[in-house]
Structure 1
Amino acid sequence: MKKGFTMIELIFVIVILGILASVAIPRLAATRTDAEIATTVSNIRTLISDLSSYYVVKGEFGNAKWGDVTNVPIRLERQKSAQGTKVVLNNAAQGAVYLPVDGIDCIVFRVKDRDNTQTPARPAYIEIGKVRANKGKGTCKEVLEAEPIKAYLDLRVPNVTPIENNNGVPEAGVIVFESSISIY
C-alpha cells in the first residue's frame, strides 16, 4: 500500500489556505496604512517640536536652513530634499515644504517668522495644510482623514488666515511659536 495524500485531501488543504489568505491579506494592508498614519503623525509632531525648540532658543528663524532645524524627511516640490533651503523665505509659495506619504507630497508646511514691523511683535507660526492636488490619492487620503491629522489641520489662531480652498473654507491649521527671548 502506497503512503501519500489523496487528491481530495490536497484540494481541502488548498481551499483552507485560500480562505486564510483571503482573511490575512486585507488585515496586512490595513496594518500598513495604520503604520503610515502613525509615522506621519510622529513626523509632524517631531517637526513642530524641532521648529518650536529652535525658535525658543534663537528667538527667530533668520537664515536657518531646514537641515539645521530638523531631520524629518521633508522636501521641496519635484522630490528635492529641503534640508539645504531656508526655513523662511519671502515668498510663501517658495517657502513651502512637503511631507511625503507613500512617495506622494501629501502635507504642506509654511513657516512665517515673526514680524517686527508691528508693535507688539507677532510670534512666528507654522501653517500645516493639505496638498490639494494629492489629497484624494492613495494612502494620502486615509492619512488626511485620520483624527490626529484632522486635529492639526483644524488648528486656528486669531488674526492669521490659513490656506483656503476655492469655496473659502480653510484647508490648513496654524501653530504659533513664542520665543522666551521676545517681549509681547
Structure 2
Amino acid sequence: MKKGFTMIELIFVIVILGILASVAIPRLAATRTDAEIATTVSNIRTLISDLSSYYVVKGEFGNAKWRDVTNVPVRLGNKQLVKNNTPIVTTADYNGAYYLQAGGLNCLVIRVKDRDGARPAYIEIAKTRSEQNKGICPDIINAEPIKAFLDLRVPGVTPIEEGGAGVIVFESSISIY
C-alpha cells in the first residue's frame, strides 16, 4: 500500500491556506497604516518639542538651521529632503513652508515664524491643500492628537492656511498630547 496524500486532501489544504491568507493580508496592511500614522504623530511631537526647547534656550530662531534644532525629516514643496543647513525661518519659496511626509505624500505643512514686533514666535501646522484627501493623509489628519491640534486657535495669531491649521505659540505652555 502506497503512503501519501490524495488530491482531495491537497485541495482542502490549499483552500484552507487561501482562506487564512485572505484574512491575514488585510490585517497586515492595516498594521502598516497604523504604524505610519504613529510615526507621523511622533514626528510632530518631537518637532514641536525640539523647536520649543531651542526657542527657550536661545530666545529667538534668528538664523537657526534644521541641523541645530531637530533631526525630524522635513521636505520642501518639491519633495526634496531639507538639507541640514537650511534655515528654519524663511520667507523664500513656498511661503516659508516645509512639509512632513507620510506614505510618500505631503500631508502636513509646517511653518515656523520668529517673533515679529508684538506678534510672538509660533509654529503653524496645517493640512496641505493638494494632498489632504489622498492616500494615508486623511487618516493622519483625523488621528486624535493631530485633529485636536489642527482645531486649536490662538488669539492674536492668524495662520496662513485658513480652515485647517493649528498654531502653537512658543511663549505659551500649549502642547500636543
TM above 0.5, yes or no, is: yes
1:13-72 deviations in Å (ceiling 9; x for gaps):
011101101110111111011100100000000000000000000000000011211100
Question: Does the aligned pair in 1 maintain the 2:89–2:112 contact within 8 Å?
Answer: yes
Question: Does the aligned pair in 2 maintain the 1:92–1:110 contact within 8 Å?
Answer: no
SS in 1 for 2:62: coil
2:5 is aligned to 5
1:173 to 160, 163, 166: 166
SS in 1 for 2:95: coil
2:141 is aligned to 144
Structure 1 residue 149 displacement after superposition: 1.3
2:155 is the alignment partner of 1:158: yes
Q: Matched residues in 2 for 1:62 and 1:5: separation?
A: 75
Identity of matched residues, %? 74
Structure 1 residue 91 displacement after superposition: 5.2
1:17 is aligned to 17
Q: Matched residues in 2 for 1:53 and 1:10: separation?
A: 63
1:90 is aligned to 91
Q: Matched residues in 2 for 1:24 and 1:152: separation?
A: 34
TM-score normalised per structure 2: 0.91
Question: Does the aligned pair in 2 maintain the 1:110–1:126 contact within 8 Å?
Answer: yes
Question: Does the aligned pair in 1 maintain the 2:89–2:113 contact within 8 Å?
Answer: yes
Question: Does the aligned pair in 2 maintain the 1:162–1:171 contact within 8 Å?
Answer: no
Q: Matched residues in 2 for 1:178 and 1:28: separation?
A: 42
Q: Matched residues in 1 for 2:11 and 2:166: separation?
A: 56
Gaps of 5+ in 2: 173-177
Question: Does the aligned pair in 2 maintain the 1:74–1:99 contact within 8 Å?
Answer: yes
2:28 is the alignment partner of 1:28: yes
SS in 2 for 1:159: coil
Question: Does the aligned pair in 2 maintain the 1:156–1:173 contact within 8 Å?
Answer: yes
Q: Matched residues in 2 for 1:159 and 1:175: separation?
A: 12
2:175 is aligned to none
1:182 is aligned to none
Structure 1 residue 90 displacement after superposition: 3.4
Q: Matched residues in 2 for 1:88 and 1:111: separation?
A: 6
Q: Matched residues in 2 for 1:84 and 1:153: separation?
A: 29
Q: Matched residues in 1 for 2:2 and 2:146: separation?
A: 63
Structure 1 residue 79 displacement after superposition: 2.1
Q: Matched residues in 1 for 2:158 and 2:136: separation?
A: 28
Return 90-99 or 4-13, whichever deviates more.
90-99
TM-score normalised per structure 1: 0.87
1:123 is aligned to 120
Gaps of 5+ in 1: 180-184
- The number of residues matched between the two structures is 171
Q: Matched residues in 2 for 1:100 and 1:90: separation?
A: 21
Amino acid across the alignment from 1:175: I
SS in 2 for 1:133: coil
